[in-house]
Amino acid sequence: MAETLFFNALREAIDEEMARDSSVFVLGEDVGHYGGSYKVTKDLYQKYGELRVLDTPIAENSFTGIAVGAAMTGLRPIIEGMNMGFLLLAFNQISNNAGMLRYTSGGNFKIPMVIRGPGGVGRQLGAEHSQRLEAYFQAVPGLKIVACSTPYNAKGLLKAAIRDDNPVLFFEHVLLYNLKEDLPEQEYLLPLDQAEVVRQGKDVTILTYSRMRHHVLQAVKTLEKQGYDPEVIDLISLKPLDFDTIGASIRKTHKVIIVEECMRTGGIGAELTASINDRLFDELDAPVLRLSSQDIPTPYNGNLERLTIVQPEQIVEAVEKMAALRV
């Protein structure tokens, strides 16, 4: 086992896959000489050269289109978005082309590409750099959406995403890059479509993902002292949702709290709530409780920014409220 920073876990995944498969290449703004805005591609340019680590102009729509075309010919591009919010400029390429070409070509083309990079609410990055794009792409057919949350799952999921024959949106949270964790020295891959039961419990199911996994675990420390026994599930796969794991937990606890950094209106939590009510309504002893970010542009002011997203103390209050309900 070796202690590894989150961004280095991602770098190791890319490095290993580029060494294993010559069809894998990286493109994006500042991924080459500079090594990426968060150093995920550091030194890969020197190792693999400019044909496999391509510095692009500031032209997201164009270089995403290049990546789609490359994937159609059998290459495996990895796009790094300097900030995932910038990829809104490539929305058409990602949705109409990457997402749908396998279908519209009658299966003649596979689109094995990964679109990855930092997103989420950071520390005073302002509204345009605090985007949570998972809800934007949730409705697009043909895409897989993954949100990593630890160095361990970041590496295993990214390796699996690179090998997948479908376009994978791979979300990394900007505030998690300096997390540390011991990683196995031997190779491992993790499934892209499975949630992780982070903590077994019986009182209430807490569904979360990305940075909010860590807010939930902070809250759990307080809840344990108060005698509560929550079950915590990191969704990881946002499209498709892993309803085998989700359903098994709800059938045990019969109560659900969703904790997300996504906006409340039309967010991942909204889809989860609807799907739980469709599939598992008779298992619920209380309405699904949703803790989401406020539906406003993220303020630059640090105190106001903090107020827009879910904090551990709110999660504690939600569990106390849910536990107080008697059936």
Residues with active-site annotation: 60, 129
Q: How far is residue 195's CA from residue 209's CA, in Å, rounded to a whole number?
A: 9
Query: Up-side HSE of residue 261: CA atoms within 13 Å toward CB?
Result: 27
Q: Where are the alpha helices (DSSP H) in the chain?
A: 6-20, 44-48, 60-72, 91-92, 101-104, 134-137, 151-163, 212-225, 243-253, 268-280, 302-308, 312-324
Residue whose tokens read 């794009």: 133
Residue type at 218?
Answer: Q
- Show Cβ contacts of residue 207 under 8 Å, excluding neighbours closer than 6 positions: 233, 235, 246, 256, 257, 258, 259, 272
What's the token pair of residue 279? 């599939």
Q: Residue 301's closest CA among 126, 128, 85?
A: 126
CB atoms within 10 A of CB 285: 14
Burial of 103 (0-12, 13-18, 19+ CB in 10 A): exposed
Q: How far is residue 256's CA from residue 244's CA, in Å, rounded to a whole number?
A: 15
Q: How far is residue 66's CA from residue 169's CA, in Å, rounded to a whole number?
A: 16
